Amino acid sequence: MGPLGTGEVMDLTNTAVGVLAVTDPIGLVPVVLAASEGDPERLRRLSRPACLTFLVTLLASCWFGAAVLQLFAISLAAFRIAGGLILLPMGLQMLQGETVGLREHQPAHRSESDAFYAVVPIGIPIMAGPGTLSLVISQAPQAVPGKLALSAVLSLIALGVYVLLRAALPLSHWLGPLAIGVLTRLMGVLLAAIAIELMLDGLLESFPALARAAASG
């Protein structure tokens, strides 16, 4: 297994940034705080299974997502276009200061166990939703070294999100609503750019004449 090339490193970086943007860990802070009702012990019980669910789902998408596409005879180019179409509205929504995918999910009722609520809906689909899965599947390298590198990056992201959620109580007081809004809009810009890049890549793969025209131009 040789080292990754420059292009592969750039793709890996774009995927990592996109996963962070879609996951929006800063936007998760008020969700887990509401679900835990400010109780540090409940916050711990929610954070761990939510992040494990997030990681396992993304790793499964990285390693087996392409096989699922082949099973349904869906080309990777078409899936990249679809993924871009899913991600672009999310990025535009974040530019408006809205937190993607969180409005529909209210804090857990006391009758629900913390572990179950951490898996659904926090782990899936709030953290590992359609946008995140589309991005990972469409950008996952075909070679084993690339998949291993992406798996390592996804593991680091999940670990970082876990640390962030565990620190949600002091973080919410330190950042304040203004800083959270600014970070959400910045993530929206990055996500919109990545979505357009995905769609362009898919179109160039689907229509080779466009790729030749772009190269000659």
pLDDT digits (tens, 9 = 90+) for 56-80: 999 999 999 989 988 998 888 888 8
Q: Which stretch, 10-24, 118-132, 143-157, has highest mean pLDDT?
A: 143-157
Residue 131: what pLDDT? 83
Entry pTM: 0.77
8 half-sphere exposure, CB direction, 13 A CA radius: 15
118 in Cβ contact with 50 (< 8 Å) = yes
What is the token pair recorded at 49? 């299974």
pLDDT at 145 over 60: yes
pLDDT at 214 over 70: no
Residue 172: what pLDDT? 78
Residue 111: what pLDDT? 40
Residue 82: what pLDDT? 86
Determine the 3-state secondary structure of 175 from DSSP.
Answer: helix
